[in-house]
Structures are given as structure tokens and as C-alpha cells.
Structure 1
Amino acid sequence: MASPKTLAEPKPPVPLNIPSGKAVKVSCIDTTSRIKLPTQTILIPYIADHKYYQCPAFSFLIEHESGKKLLFDLGIRKDWENMSPFSVWRVKSRDFTVGVTKNCSDILVENDVSLDSINAIIWSHHHWDHQGCPKLFPPSTDLVVGPGFKGAYTPGWPIEKDSSLREDDWEGRNFWEVDFTKKPFKLGRFEAYDYFGDGSFYLLHTPGHTIGHLCGLARTTSNPDSFVFMGGDACHHGAEFRPSAWLPLPAEMTPHQLKTLSFPCPGSDFLDIHPQKDASKPFYTPAPGFSHDHDTAVWTIEGLEEFDGHDNVLLGIAHDATFLGQLDMFPKTMNDWKEKGDKGKVLWRFLEDFNVKPS
């Protein structure tokens, strides 16, 4: 029987088995990257006039108590037409609109973060809207990628003319793959790597979208614990992982949850447009052919749903437009997200992309 506040009965959260640990500072960087593309390029089925998908491409800054700093993804490089010729061709040959005014490195320097202080750049995966421009960082900055990355995606251009990457992105720097077999353990269903060895920041092996795709899990507070989950492109839109068995569709939407609709707004109005008419299943699934391995990509998204089902986990995928205007962005940190109720602010805002008029 459904809860009076939801259209289905929520399942109890799945144990994630996250050990205790320290916290890191986390900031979400609006890289100024903006992308517009046909929704059905990446998501199916077609729903409620959601013809185009418009989104940012975030980077995350992780600051450890030791002084070490990491960047998780870089967004789009400002001179994106200087990406590898193959990547430029892919963008220009599709119905994509791309805009970016600053490199991630520009934003850091403008806010007094020295590029010399960045110990590593972590690429969630190799796609053009996450690469940024690593060569703008000093050789002391490592480039970190997931298992199988080098065998699948290197060498880069110009050695391999059809590569989506450039050799100079890693020339002269430590370029290494995460080894999840050295101290094997899992958080939720995913293989995990404790980056600093103190439980403050984990890399998760989340394959499917690409070979070796990585997500990040940063502890933002300890005792009580809260976390920011950096989803990369494990999925691309909130409707791919919400609603879920753990977060069913609400019985009623409030102005706090949706900014652009009139109220009251029954959740059943959105259930009416749901392809499966199921308040416990996401609206979208990845488009066939968009992922390296479709079935594994779906398995990974189901794992994200399990994390999202915990109220102390804020799930932030790289292209989550719902964060804009709602959550604190760099140079502010987002460590107080739970105290401020930020998850409730963004949880259902993706529904505004659907052309639904309240009944």
C-alpha cells in the first residue's frame, strides 16, 4: 500500500556498507559549459514534448585535510574546436549546440586556487564534454582514469587519427588507471577504491556508459555521515534514476519542489505520462547504442538508485541542470547540503522538463 505522501510504498534503503571515515571539502564547479542536443540521442522513450535536452557539465573540486586537491572531470575546454579532429567532427556532425566561456583552470585561478595545488585530475571517462584541457595544468598534476581505459582509448591523436583524445593531455605527467583489485571491497554494488586511505573520498567502478567509467563518493560530514555522489555520465538526466523503488513519485508536488508549475500539482499528473505507469520506476532508460554496454549501463543506473535512496547521499550527475540556481557553487563548498535541505530542493525538479499542465 502506498504511503500517503507517495504513489507507491517506498522500499527500505539498501545497505551501502560505507566504513566510517573523515570528511573532505567538496565544491561543485559550474564550468560554464552548456550543451543542447536532441533528447532521444541519449534517452528513450519520447515523453511530453521533451524534444531537446539542455544541460551544464560540472566539475567537482575535492580538498583533503592534507592539502591535496583533486578535480573530478573538467567540463568542456573553451577552445573546443581544438579537441582531437575526431571529437570535433562528432560534435559538428550532430544536432548539438555547444557553448563555453571559460576553462575549468580559468575558474580556479580567478578564485585564487593555484593550478600547482591540483594533485590529480580524475576523468570519469573519455568523452569530449568531460575532458577539459589537462595540458593547462602543470606536469605535477596526475591524470587518473578507470580500469581498461588505456587499452580501449589510447593512443590519442595525432598517433591515432580517429582518437577522441589528444596525446598532449597526458604527455609528461603521471597517467594512471585505478586498480580496484589491490584492496578489493564494495560500496553498494560497486567496486571501490579509497583514494586517500581514510574513507574521505572513494572512486567507484561504474562501467557501462564507457569502459572503465568512474564515479566519485565524497564524505561531506562525519558523525553523522553525509556524502556527495559524483555520477559523471553513469546517467544523464534525473528521469533515468527517479522515481525508484526507494524514492517513489510523490502524491503531490509543492512549490518547494517545482518552481515553474502552478499548484497544487498532483503527482498522478506525471504518472499519467510515465511510459510504464509505475510510480517506482524511472521515466527514461539510456538510448540503445548510446552506451558502450547497454545492459551494464542499466545495471549501473540501478546501483545509483540504491545510493539515491539514502537521505544522506546527494547524487550529482555531471549534467544535472537542477543544481543550477539551487545549490551553492564554487568557490563556496557544498558540505552543508544536508543541513540546508538541498536534496529536497532538487529531487524532483527534472520533472519541469516535461510539458505537464496540473489538473
Structure 2
Amino acid sequence: MSSFTSSVPPGKPTSVRIIDSTSMIKKLPVKALMKPPIPGFDLMPEIGTWSFLIEHESGRKLLFDLGVPTDWQDAAPTVSNRLKSNGWEISVEKPTVQILKEQNIDAESIEAIVWSHWHWDHIGNPSTFPASTRLIVGPGFKDEKLPAYPTNPKADVREIDFEGRELHEITFTEGNALQIEPFRAYDYFNDGSFYLLDTPGHAVGHLAGLARTTTNPDTFIFMGGDLTHHGGELRPSPLMPLPSSIPSQYIPALCQHLSMTTACPGSIFENINSSRDRTPASTTPFFEPAMGKDIPLAIETIKKTQQADADENVWYIFAHDAQLRGVAEFFPKSANEWKQKGWREKLLWRFLEDFEIAARQMKEKAGADGNKL
């Protein structure tokens, strides 16, 4: 068991609500994001992008990620041309600002928007917020991404998304900077309630969020952005090995398809790993990133995040985690009671259901060879 939370200084809790941004991406090939392949798992689940509303006890509010912009077809040409030609199905029903307004939260009350990173499926529509709403980005963004489109016709971010408002780049050298091992951190409210973490690799300036959801005990939601795109990029790990058996209540559909009523043996999934040279099979994630600015650095960041992921008082949520549906509760409801409601435990291994075809093959092979699982 990891003790990541022991490295976090004492602080106050803050309110966290998970917003379904109404974004949806379909027909996204797994190989575009992760490797090595798993037989039968060729397309990612239909994925959205979660946004998070963080509200300080003083009433100050910020948003972490916004989802897909409603005008994604009008992204910078280097982005929109690729999106229109790659065969993905992309949709978004409404901007985040409208979702907030429907629950009587005015755009003027949002102090800042944090981009986990600048990729098209996270940036939303900042221009729908007033100029008083700051846009916060990670280290290196300004040097790497400015000037933006159309001043720079080849840029992949747009001026309209931040013109007329403060564009604040977190450098992790400011007065509120600190170390939350193994991450560089920034104490946003200066009271230990919400931190930004330096999580480089996937994109220039990639940020994660760490919100304290309760005290006594201290619990946290770790907002991972695109640090991972699937639970199998993070798990299993040396600190979170594959269980010898996984109760059917956590992977009900898969156990049913495998005709296992009470639990699925972990050996099935170890065999999926070892058959793809992912060893040690019980402690090596199923995948590693296949796309990103600096993949070795992204892998190193994932390894750091495994320390937080293995802490029972931390709930790690990546931006496109399709498994949340049917388990977690979404805005306007609070996510602060995630631990009492057991959401983390219900979701830890739920991603294994994506491997149904490979799991069936492993079960059949074991039976044909006369082996027990």
C-alpha cells in the first residue's frame, strides 16, 4: 500500500463536482493511443471528456478542463483538417458554460479555467467566459505554442481561446510552489485544498489536479488529464498488482461472459500480459503510450502516478475514463464522498472488461491445454 498522501501537507477540503461535458469521441483506434495491442481490443470505448468544477470554501471557483469545443470543426487548420479526415466520430451537445448556467452557476463566477493541456478535446470554449476568467496553462506553453493561429498559420492553438484574458503559465517556481513527492506542485488557494501537479510527457505543459475532498482522513481526487487514456496504462503496477481473483461485482459483464459467477481469476489477465511480453505480468501495466510529445517522459510520469494510484485515499480519474458511467455521480452532485461510496474500489479493475475477447481466448486455451486458471 502506497502512502502518497503522507507527502501532502495538511490542508482544508474543497468541493469537487465531475461535469459530463457532453463530448463524445467514437471509432478511435486503440493503436493511436497505446501499445502493444490486445487481441480483440481494437477500438477505444466511446469516450467523453470529464470537466471538474472546484469550489473553494470562500466561493471561489475554477474549472479543470472543458471538453471538446462545440466549434471543433473550426479549430486551427492543422488540427481541424486532421480531425475531419481520420474517421473518428466527434460530437458535443453543449458548451460547459451552458451546463453550468442550467444549474444557476454564472460564467462570471468562474475565476479561472485550467487546461490540463492544450489538445483539442480538452480546451472547450473559453471565449464563452468573460474576460475576467483567467486561463491557466502549464510550463513551456507560451514558448512552444505562441504566437497562435491565425497570426501563426501553422499553429495548433487559436488566439480566440485566450485573447482578451489573462493567460497565466504555472512554472512551479512561484511562491506557492512546493514538492508533493514525487511531483512538483503548486498550491492554488494557498491552503492545501487544491494543487496543480507537474505531469509532463504527453504534451507540453501537461498539468494534473489534486483536490482534497475530506479531512480525517485526508482523501483526494487526482485529476489526471491525458496522463493516461485507459486504466491499462496505469495498472497493474508494483504497488497495485493484479489480484489473484477479482470479484464479479467489480467486472460483472466480463465474469458473466466467462461463465464465472463469483470471481474471475487474475491469472487470465496475467496471461494476456505475458503473451505480449509485458512482464512481470502481475505488476506491469497492459499498455504504454503510443502517442505524446515525449513518450519516455510520459512513461516516467505514469510511474510516478502509480504511487498516488495505489493509495486507498486517492481516487485517480483520467479525462476520458469511460468506466465512470454507471458508478460515479455527476454534476450538479458532489464527488467528495467518493470514498464512503466505494467508487474507487468499484472502478479499479473495471477496465478489464475491455479485454473480453482476449480473456475468452485465454480461458479456452487453458482448457484445451488441460490447465487450471
If the TM-score is normalised by the length of the shorter chain, which range does it land in?
A: over 0.9
Q: Is the 8 A contact 1:48 1:273 kept in 2?
A: no
Report the counterpart of residue 97 of structure 1 in structure 2.
Answer: 89
Alignment partner of 1:33 is 2:23 = yes
Out of 103, 123, 128, which is 1:136 matched to?
Answer: 128
Q: 1:345 — aligned with what?
A: 346
Amino acid at match of 1:236: H
Q: CA RMSD in A?
A: 1.4
Please give the secondary structure, in 2, of the residue aligned with 1:338. helix
After TM superposition, the structure 1 = structure 2 runs for residues 185-200 of structure 1, keeping only pairs within 5 Å, are 185-200=178-193
Counterpart of 1:38 in structure 2: which amino acid? P
| CA displacement at 1:185 relative to structure 2 | 2.2
Structure 1 position 259, deviation (Å):
2.6
1:15, distance to aligned residue in structure 2 (A): 6.5
Match of 1:284? 287
Counterparts in 2 of 1:6-155, with a 5 A limit? 12-13=2-3, 17-36=7-26, 37-54=28-45, 55-155=47-147
Instruction: For residue 244 of structure 1, report the CA deviation from its aligned partner.
Output: 0.9
Q: Residues of 1 paired with 2:328 and 2:340: CA distance?
A: 12
1:79 deviation in Å? 2.3
Contact 2:5 2:218 in 1 (8 A): no
Check whether the contact 1:143–1:176 (CA below 8 A) recurs between aligned residues.
yes
> Take 2:238 and 2:120, find their aligned partners in 1: how far apart are those partners?
33
TM-score, normalisation: structure 2: 0.90
Q: Which shows bigger deviation, 181-190 or 291-300?
A: 181-190
1:46-92 Cα deviation digits (max 9, x unpaired) = 10311011311111100001111000000001222122222211212
Which structure dedicates a bigger proportion of its chain to helix? 2
Q: Which residue does the alignment assign to 1:6?
A: none
* Preserved CA contact (<8 Å) 2:5 2:313: no
Count of residue pairs brought into register by the alignment: 347
1:171 aligned onto 2:170: no
Q: Which residue of 2 aligns with 1:213?
A: 206
For residues 248 and 239 of structure 1, the distance between their equivalents in structure 2, rounded to whole angstroms, comes to: 12
Native 8 Å contact 2:12 2:191 kept in 1:
yes
In the alignment, the residues of structure 2 paired with residue 331 and residue 255 of structure 1 have an alpha-carbon distance, to the nearest angstrom, of: 30
Judge conservation of contact 1:16–1:307 (CA < 8 Å) in 2.
no
| Aligned position for 2:306 | 305
| Cα offset, 1:14, TM superposition | 5.2
Contact 1:240 1:284 in 2 (8 A): yes
Seen in structure 2, the aligned counterparts of structure 1 residues 306 and 12 have a Cα distance that, compared at 3 Å, is closer
Q: Which runs of 5+ in 2 are unaligned?
A: 364-373
Runs of 4 or more consecutive aligned structure 1 residues displaced over 6 Å after TM superposition: none
Question: TM-score scaled by structure 1?
Answer: 0.94
Q: Please state whether the residue corresponding to 1:90 is helix, strand or coil.
A: helix
Q: Secondary structure at the match of 2:93?
A: coil
Q: How far did 1:282 drift? A: 0.5
Larger radius of gyration: 2
Query: Is the CA contact 2:108–2:130 (under 8 Å) kept in the aligned structure 1?
Result: yes
- Kindly provide the amino acid, as one letter, of the partner of residue 67 in structure 1: G
Indicate if the aligned counterparts of 2:5 and 2:311 stay in contact, CA closer than 8 A: no
Letter in 1 for 2:271: D
Residues 12 and 226 of structure 1: CA distance in aligned 2, closer, same or farther (over 3 Å): closer
Distance in 1, matches of 2:6 and 2:33, equals 29
Q: Is the 8 A contact 2:16 2:54 kept in 1?
A: yes
1:272 corresponds to: 271
Q: Distance in 2 between matches of 1:256 and 1:79?
A: 40
Q: Which residue of 1 aligns with 2:315?
A: 314
Q: Is the 8 A contact 1:84 1:157 kept in 2?
A: yes
Unaligned ranges ≥5, structure 1: 1-10
